[in-house]
């Protein structure tokens, strides 16, 4: 009876663990960034023999219709929230063997885009989401052993588990993990408003809990109350304990360093594989890339109106166009870079000044620069396949996924050695013939330019060495299978098998 109550399945003497992912986005249903890739991909690779992994997401009105059509209504109930009795609808779907649940409420999720520009409203609707998820668990008869929360939007869940839900037998003993995908975004607003929205007592709004520099901070609450904290690379886990990267939370992260670990994200090689990619003109692999990869370059040059020259070094950028991505460095040296024998292909949207900067250089160097100021999944795949090198000079980068995709496509990354870029791209050493890319350390435009020009030199003058680097890059394994094993080890550590002798 006890095993059923706490939600274990007994499989050959092993007690199967139930894991619940809670996040603001996840592929294939809704995506704005890398968080969605993690939430959509990682559960597929967790071993189904030992873990029952399910996912909760908001039911956004801006989801594509084809994904909405997969959803089935389950039930609804009303919940006390923000001094009102609020509707909570529950929908479900199953994709790639993963069970998804959705919280439905038109007032909160009916916008034309995923995120809103009003931080106070964002705090209200994601607090509603978190409380609705916890309240829905008995309704759907799913009691997780562990809730895996992602970013500030779910930071209140570990707090609620220790507060209003702690008195119920159903919730008692549920562990929580919070993964920091980007510490810059924390969910901050004034204490009085957040206290009213969350319903938490004064006890929780002190400097050792949710209060941070006189504001309430939902991510901080998650970090304080979660049983474990992860972030998306080993280097970023160390960086965020320092003032420069810590975004004001570095003292807390140092205090909780024993509970903090970095696990590098993976990529789904079923979606990003040059041997099977439906978006590219010529498929290739680690054996035949020397002959076949260049055909994708030729096709992309024709498509984008660049000078068609198979031998010309092509550098790609697929990115959000923001300060974080190091675009001020690129702006500073663009005229110098465009004097070199290279082509630059850019894809992305973001801050207006960077969009216009790339448009300007597209106009000025039309046969060398192609600025594509929009987002296209198909074009991103073509860029990974066609380019010779991929530029990521980030100011900070918790993990980064683009460099992982570039490596798998044999497109050599040129990166600043920070966060996940440092952990995943080994700088080229010409004396030992090692490395999978090129790296520079200081956030300096001409140090970056010197590194790009070093890469150009190897590309043009030592082509055999360049091809050996591609061999090594395509051989590196950053699949989700590797990362999933590390998450599984953490889940087992937090949720050891139940000992019947203690009952």
Q: What is the 3-state secondary structure (H, E, C) of 103-150?
A: EECHHHHCCCCCCCCCHHHHHHHHHHHHHHHHHHHHHHCCCCCEEEEE
Query: Do 339 and 472 belong together in one domain?
Result: yes
Reference 437, options 484, 398, 405; nearest CA is 405
CATH number of domain containing 132: 3.40.50.2000
Reference 474, options 405, 390, 393, 391; nearest CA is 405
Q: Is residue 272 part of a domain?
A: no
Q: What pLDDT does residue 497 have?
A: 72
Give phi and psi for 293, each to the nearest 5. -60, -40
Q: Report the domain count for the chain.
A: 2
What is d(CA 382, CA 314) in angstroms, rounded to the nearest whole number? 12
Mean local confidence (pLDDT), 74-86: 96
Residue 483, pLDDT > 90, answer yes
Question: Taking the complete model, does pTM exceed 0.85, yes or no?
Answer: yes
How many percent of the chain have pLDDT more than 90? 91
Query: Do 250 and 325 belong together in one domain?
Result: no
Mean of the per-residue pLDDT values of the chain: 94
Residue 418, pLDDT > 80, answer yes
Mean local confidence (pLDDT), 218-242: 97
Reported as a single tens digit per residue, the pLDDT across 452-467 is 999 999 999 999 999 9
Mean local confidence (pLDDT), 372-389: 96
Q: Is residue 274 part of a domain?
A: no
Query: Do 350 and 486 belong together in one domain?
Result: no
Confidence of residue 268 (pLDDT cuts 50, 70, 90): confident
Query: Do 231 and 183 belong together in one domain?
Result: yes
Query: Do 321 and 429 belong together in one domain?
Result: yes
Q: Is residue 403 part of a domain?
A: yes
Confidence of residue 386 (pLDDT cuts 50, 70, 90): very high
Query: Do 487 and 456 belong together in one domain?
Result: no
Confidence of residue 10 (pLDDT cuts 50, 70, 90): low
DSSP letter for each residue of 237-295: HHHTTSHHHHTT-HHHHHHTGGGEEE----B-TTTS-TTT-TTSSS---TTTHHHHHHH
| Domain range enclosing 357 | 289-478
Helix (H, G, I), strand (E, B) or coil at 444: coil
Residue 404, pLDDT > 80, answer yes
Q: Is residue 390 part of a domain?
A: yes
Mean local confidence (pLDDT), 10-18: 69
Query: Do 218 and 139 belong together in one domain?
Result: yes
Q: Is residue 162 part of a domain?
A: yes
Q: What pLDDT does residue 32 have?
A: 86
Q: What pLDDT does residue 3 have?
A: 35
Q: Is 213 within 8 Å of 248 (Cβ atoms)?
A: yes
Reported as a single tens digit per residue, the pLDDT across 206-229 is 999 999 999 999 999 999 999 999
What is d(CA 320, CA 398) in angstroms, rounded to the nearest whole number? 14
Q: Is residue 427 part of a domain?
A: yes
Residue 443, pLDDT > 90, answer yes
Q: What pLDDT does residue 14 have?
A: 59
Cis peptide, bond prior to residue 28, ω within 30 of zero? yes
Q: Is residue 284 part of a domain?
A: no
Burial call 237-252: b when 16+ CB within 10 Å, e when fewer: bbbbbeeebbbebbeb
Query: Do 254 and 367 belong together in one domain?
Result: no
Q: What pLDDT does residue 11 have?
A: 47
Helices then strands, counting H and E runs in the chain, come out as 20, 19
What is d(CA 315, CA 293) in angstroms, rounded to the nearest whole number? 14
Q: Is 219 within 8 Å of 193 (Cβ atoms)?
A: no
Query: Do 255 and 345 belong together in one domain?
Result: no
Query: Do 13 and 50 belong together in one domain?
Result: yes
Query: Do 305 and 246 belong together in one domain?
Result: no
What is the maximum span of the chain, computed from C-alpha positions, in angstroms? 76
Q: Is 476 within 8 Å of 35 (Cβ atoms)?
A: no
Residue 9, pLDDT > 60, answer no
Give phi and psi for 200, each to the nearest 5. -75, 145
Query: Do 491 and 459 belong together in one domain?
Result: no
User: What are the Cα distances from residue 284, in Å, to 274, 294, 297, 387?
Assistant: 6, 10, 13, 14
Mean local confidence (pLDDT), 24-53: 93
Reference 218, options 191, 255, 247, 246; nearest CA is 191
Q: What pLDDT does residue 2 have?
A: 31
Q: Is residue 216 part of a domain?
A: yes
Q: What pLDDT does residue 1 have?
A: 28
Q: What pLDDT does residue 496 have?
A: 87
Residue 13, pLDDT > 80, answer no
Reference 319, options 290, 354, 343; nearest CA is 354
Residue 501, pLDDT > 50, answer no
Residue 188, pLDDT > 90, answer yes
Residue 81, pLDDT > 60, answer yes
Mean local confidence (pLDDT), 313-330: 96
């Amino acid at each position: 009876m006890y095993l059923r109550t706490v939600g274990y399945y007994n499989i050959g003497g092993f007690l199967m663990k139930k894991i619940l992912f809670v996040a603001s986005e996840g592929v294939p249903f809704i995506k704005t960034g890398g968080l969605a890739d993690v939430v959509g991909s990682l559960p597929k690779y967790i071993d189904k023999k030992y873990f029952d992994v399910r996912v909760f997401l908001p039911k956004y009105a801006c989801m594509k219709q084809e994904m909405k059509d997969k959803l089935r209504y389950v039930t609804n109930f009303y919940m006390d929230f923000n001094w009102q009795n609020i509707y909570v609808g529950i929908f479900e779907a199953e994709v790639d063997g993963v069970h998804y649940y959705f919280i439905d409420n038109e007032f909160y999720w009916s916008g034309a885009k995923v995120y809103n520009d009003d931080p106070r409203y964002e705090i209200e609707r994601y607090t509603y989401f978190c409380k609705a998820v916890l309240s829905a668990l008995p309704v759907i008869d799913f009691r997780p052993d562990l809730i895996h929360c992602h970013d500030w939007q779910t930071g209140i869940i570990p707090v609620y588990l220790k507060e209003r839900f702690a008195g119920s037998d159903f919730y008692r003993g549920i562990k929580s993990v919070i993964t920091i995908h980007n510490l810059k975004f924390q969910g901050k607003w004034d204490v009085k408003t957040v206290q009213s929205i969350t319903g938490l007592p004064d006890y929780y709004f002190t400097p050792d809990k949710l209060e941070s520099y006189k504001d309430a901070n939902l991510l901080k609450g998650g970090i304080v109350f979660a049983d474990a904290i992860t972030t998306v690379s080993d280097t970023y886990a160390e960086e965020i304990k320092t003032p420069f990267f810590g975004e004001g939370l570095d003292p807390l992260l140092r205090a909780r360093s024993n509970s903090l670990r970095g696990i590098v994200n993976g990529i789904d090689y079923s979606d990003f594989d040059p041997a099977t990619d439906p978006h590219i003109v010529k498929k290739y692999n680690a054996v035949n890339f020397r002959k076949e990869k260049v055909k994708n370059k030729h096709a992309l040059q024709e498509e984008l109106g660049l000078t068609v020259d198979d031998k010309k070094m092509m550098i790609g950028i697929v990115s959000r166009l923001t300060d974080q991505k190091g675009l001020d460095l690129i702006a500073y040296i663009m005229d110098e870079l465009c004097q070199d024998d290279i082509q630059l292909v850019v894809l992305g949207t973001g801050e207006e000044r960077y969009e216009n900067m790339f448009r300007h250089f597209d106009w000025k160097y039309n046969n060398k620069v192609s600025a594509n100021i929009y987002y296209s999944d198909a074009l991103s795949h073509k860029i990974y396949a066609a380019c010779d090198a991929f530029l990521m000079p980030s100011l900070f980068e918790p993990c980064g996924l683009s460099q992982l995709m570039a490596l798998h496509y044999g497109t050599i990354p040129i990166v600043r050695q920070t966060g996940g870029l440092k952990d995943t791209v080994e700088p080229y050493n010409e004396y030992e013939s090692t490395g999978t890319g090129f790296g520079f350390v200081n956030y300096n435009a001409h140090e970056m330019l010197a590194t790009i020009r070093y890469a150009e030199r190897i590309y043009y003058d030592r082509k055999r060495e360049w091809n050996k680097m591609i061999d090594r890059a395509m051989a590196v394994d950053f699949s989700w299978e590797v990362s999933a094993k590390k998450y599984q080890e953490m889940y087992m550590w937090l949720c050891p098998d139940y000992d019947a002798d203690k009952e």
